[in-house]
């Protein structure tokens, strides 16, 4: 029996660290990333190329990128809000650029000081730069506040679909949907991913969902049912969005991996090693609360990961 494979994209070293007041030292970051790779993570968002005065927690991103690139088979990703950030990211050697494009004008102005339409133009400029300098690098747009905004309120689904279409026309490789403010519910997730997939097809990218109101895993499962195969998550549930008040709570990587593995869906991640990756995170951010039901409860007696379930089915 062949199980489909899901890609878990770890965003804690960027989305998590930008949301805490303390700054993790560079050696601690590198040790944490090494532990994530040892657990089997194959895509890691290691930082953000923004001015250090805005996010001092991520001022060492170029050094972190260079270290992460030493791990073969790992896609090293960084967030870039503009062309200048993309230039710095390409200089550092990232494999993938992710661009935050908010569907909410209010959030877009607060987050990147540009309207959504201006961000589409910026995306086109970044794609041109990528084509000239590093054609193998992927450009992903994450549609922030796709499911609602704490600043604006409701976000029209038609606006999200049009924005995805405009970004694909601008040349981005993928458009994912982000529940930046933790407002989404499963029916909404199914509906919006279905509409976006109908509009842009295979360029539909990752689901970036939050657990702010306890619906993170339910929303991930809804996205899976609609054909999404890449999911952003953060170890220990670290992170949120500094420009979306009250939007704490990324989906916990450990709980998401457990859900998929228990369902027989291979993530390629070793859960025990993933739990162990919490240790360097704790050492680097002492006193910072970490979340996750599965690490606290432990694995069930007799639990088999997806690959061993496959062998059990055969025998």
Residues 6+ apart with CB under 8 A from 179: 146, 147, 148, 189, 208, 209, 210, 219
Residue ranges of alpha helices (H) inside the chain are 26-39, 61-68, 83-92, 105-112, 116-133, 157-170, 186-200, 216-225, 253-262, 271-276, 278-284, 293-297, 306-314
Number of neighbouring beta carbons within 10 Å of residue 144: 29
Q: Is 209 helix (H, G, I), strand (E, B) or coil?
A: coil
d(CA 267, CA 3): 10
Residues 6+ apart with CB under 8 A from 223: 189, 190, 193, 207, 209, 231
Residue among 48, 127, 45 at smallest CA distance from 81: 48
220 catalytic per annotation: no
284 touches 16 (CB < 8 A): no
Residue-by-residue DSSP string for 44-72: EEEEE-S-TTT-GGGTTHHHHHHHHTTST
48 touches 58 (CB < 8 A): yes
100 touches 82 (CB < 8 A): no
| Start-to-end CA span in the chain (Å) | 11
β-pairing, 230-233 vs 7-10, is parallel
Enzyme catalytic residues: 241
């Amino acid at each position: 029996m062949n199980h489909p494979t899901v890609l878990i994209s770890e965003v804690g070293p960027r989305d998590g660290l930008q949301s805490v007041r303390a700054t993790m030292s560079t050696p601690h970051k590198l040790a944490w990333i090494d532990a994530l790779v040892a657990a089997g993570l194959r895509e890691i968002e290691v930082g953000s190329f923004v001015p250090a005065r805005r996010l001092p927690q991520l001022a060492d991103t170029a050094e972190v990128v260079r270290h992460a690139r030493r791990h073969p088979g790992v896609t090293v990703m960084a967030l870039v809000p503009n062309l200048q950030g993309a230039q710095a990211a390409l200089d550092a050697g990232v494999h993938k650029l992710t661009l935050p494009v908010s569907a909410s004008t209010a959030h877009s102005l607060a987050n990147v000081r540009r309207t959504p339409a201006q961000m589409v133009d910026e995306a086109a400029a970044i794609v041109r730069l990528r084509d000239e300098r590093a054609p193998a690098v992927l450009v992903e747009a994450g549609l922030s506040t796709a499911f609602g905004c704490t600043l604006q309120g409701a976000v029209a689904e038609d606006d999200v679909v049009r924005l995805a279409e405009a970004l694909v026309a601008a040349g981005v490789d993928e458009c994912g949907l982000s529940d930046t403010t933790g407002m989404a519910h499963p029916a909404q997730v199914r509906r919006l991913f279905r509409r976006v997939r109908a509009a842009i097809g295979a360029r539909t990218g990752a689901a970036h969902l939050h657990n702010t109101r306890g619906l993170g895993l339910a929303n991930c499962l809804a996205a899976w049912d609609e054909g999404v195969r890449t999911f952003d998550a953060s170890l220990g549930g670290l992170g949120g969005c500094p420009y979306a008040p009250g939007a704490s709570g990324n989906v916990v990587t450990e709980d998401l991996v457990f859900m998929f593995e228990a369902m027989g869906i291979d993530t390629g991640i070793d859960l025990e090693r993933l739990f162990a990756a919490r240790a360097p995170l704790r050492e680097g951010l002492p006193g910072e609360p970490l979340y996750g039901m599965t690490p606290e409860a432990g694995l069930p007696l007799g639990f088999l990961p997806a690959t061993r379930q496959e062998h059990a089915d055969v025998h």
